Chain A
């Protein structure tokens, strides 16, 4: 059974190996340059606000290629499970129905459950291995950028996102394992259900894309219990004049779930007080007499920011939780495939 699974999977496996190799070569070609730019940058031993300038300098020193490769790599890791689900999962069983070869496969001396178990296990493990390999290679390549983001704010929006940002969280750590297992078993189950590869592919793409969107938007914020703090509105604000917190002071990479500005009496406020909305002589304004920002103005009036956030210490708890959810879904989908085929409705 292992031989047959490999024989039928061979072409897809080689294609994946080639894609993985191309990805590795691309990153290996640009990685050392990125690392040396980091090692000569001032970010390494900066303090305070100097870090922002150093980070800015580092990002502007990156050649255009890196600005392409950085998002491209994340895109590849996020797309890999979907591609695997569509091209490995969906046809795995559906093709046997389409070509009617299940008649041949299921009347050999191997039970249907065994046949499916080997196919799911081998192909599924390959799916997880490929996706995680992409993620690990990328994490190595992008580590200078991650370190700079951890030190100071700066650079284009693309580069200012910490480890909890939706696309970065889903493409780093162990979550790619979970996404790959889920997408693959989703494709297989869809194929078992429709018995046609093409509709199964479409269903897989639709459901996986929906889940990939729903996870960061609706589900992930509820997976860990957040910490709460009340911080200086000035320190929490990096947009110079908004009521929402952009950063947890002292914990640059923490993930802000929600924030609420409070006035001196401790009551929530929903608008910047008129007195601070347009203070005279804001920085950059011509003829300004006092260099005061709305945030500084509110700070002076005793405004605070209540923040609920996930500290970086809980990063791996969240990684494991999310991965476990997807692995559980994958097991449920695999069980469905067994159950459906076991009912022997050929």
Chain B
């Protein structure tokens, strides 16, 4: 199966600062993919590269097997919802639908009108007067009604209140299921993604820390707690993602393919949020250590 997004050594530089460096990943089709990472991890840059709004300064990226925004055909296959859902303030909702109809060959007018009717958005309303949630819905409608194969959303719910957030994501899932879309959405809040994603990519400092189907990730990660001991003394096949210690107790988040048999440990399941956070803090810790090392060398 073709990857919806395949990047190899991908990099993007703004002046001398690399916003994304040496990013290699492959996201299989047919998933709702959550792309998480702290602010500044390069999520927006990666997604902008995927829709062709940016061109890479290093490496390659292919979307649905072709170069992003290579031509009208490729543009038609990918729907995009940018951060904060920009729309034309001076145009009405109906104008936006006309825009979609004029600029896309496979435009589904029935779908677009049906969605807005169901969402109770007045077509004659100016886009400037829409609420944040409605604006996001309008932008999503534009992206869906062009009938793409892949829908890319950059922080689609970041500016929405919790209720609008839930409604938006629910609606997105329904649309994705109906049209058999592959979806990639980014967020720095794992809680938002937990409900909707079946595939998770954790991106920290341009690097993919972990990527895989959500159920597989949950089945291979455990939280272990027991008497204090050195994590280095663990058997092979157990990869420690994060460790915390008190005077008497050690808590570990580990990745393993097999069961944990040591009776000294209390084994419990780990949630997706804890899992992702563990990978993010691991990366942060590592970076800090590198920096410290760097400072010592300079002395």
Contacts and interface: CB of A to CB of B under 8 A. Distances in A.
Given A344-B52, A344-B53, A107 B80 contact: yes
Contacts of B89: 99
Interface in B176-203: none
B75 A107 contact: yes
A104 interface: yes
Contacts of A105: 103
Interface in A325-346: 343-346
A99 B128 CA distance: 11
Nearest to A3: B102
B225 interface: no
Interface string A152-171: 00000000000000000000
Nearest to A5: B102
B43 to A, nearest CB: 15
Nearest to A346: B53
Given A109-B75, A111-B75, A100 B69 contact: no
A99 B86 contact: yes
Interface residues of A, number: 25
B41 interface: no
Interface stretch (B28-36, B91-99, B274-282, B283-291): B91-99
Contacts of A103: 53, 80, 82, 86
A107 B78 contact: yes
A29 interface: no
A90 B189 CA distance: 39
A108 interface: yes
Interface string A139-160: 0000000000000000000000
B102 A4 contact: yes
A104 B83 CA distance: 11
A11 to B, nearest CB: 8
B112 interface: no
A100 B86 contact: yes
Contacts of A218: none
B139 interface: yes
B72 A110 contact: yes
A106 B53 contact: yes
B72 A109 contact: yes
A104 B138 CA distance: 11
A1 B103 contact: yes
A107 B104 contact: no
B169 interface: no
Interface in A89-142: 99-112, 114
A108 B72 CA distance: 8
B54 A344 contact: yes
Nearest to B70: A111
Given A107-B78, A109-B75, A3 B53 contact: no
Interface string A1-20: 11110011000000000000
B42 interface: no
B86 A109 contact: no
Contacts of A344: 52-55, 69
Contacts of B115: none
A113 B16 CA distance: 28
Contacts of B51: 107
Interface in B139-191: 139, 142-143, 146
A108 B54 contact: no
Interface in A149-196: none
A108 B53 contact: no
B146 A108 contact: yes
Given A99-B89, A346-B48, A107 B79 contact: yes
Contacts of B105: 109
A216 B250 CA distance: 84
Interface centre among B69, B76, B79, B103 (most CB of A within 10 A): B103
A111 B71 contact: yes
Contacts of B100: 108
Contact of A109 (B55, B95, B104): B104
A111 B72 contact: yes
A88 B244 CA distance: 61
Nearest to A115: B103
A106 B104 CA distance: 11
Interface string B14-53: 0000000000000000000000000000000000100111
B103 A109 contact: yes
A109 B71 CA distance: 8
Nearest to B75: A109
B82 A100 contact: yes
B48 A104 contact: no
A101 B103 contact: no
B87 A104 contact: yes
B108 interface: no
Nearest to B104: A109
Contacts of A111: 69, 71-72, 75
A99 B78 CA distance: 22
B239 interface: no
Nearest to B48: A346
Given A3-B98, A110-B103, A343-B55, A104 B142 contact: yes
29 contacts: A1-B103, A2-B102, A4-B102, A7-B95, A8-B88, A8-B91, A100-B84, A101-B86, A101-B88, A102-B53, A103-B80, A103-B82, A104-B88, A105-B103, A106-B53, A107-B51, A107-B52, A107-B78, A107-B82, A108-B75, A108-B99, A108-B100, A108-B103, A109-B76, A110-B75, A343-B55, A344-B55, A344-B69, A345-B54
Which A-B residue pairs are the 6 nearest by beta carbons?
Answer: A103-B82, A108-B103, A107-B80, A344-B55, A109-B104, A100-B86
Given A108-B75, A344-B52, 9 more contacts: A99-B88, A100-B82, A100-B84, A104-B142, A106-B53, A107-B80, A109-B76, A109-B146, A110-B72
Interface of A: 1-4, 7-8, 99-112, 114, 343-346
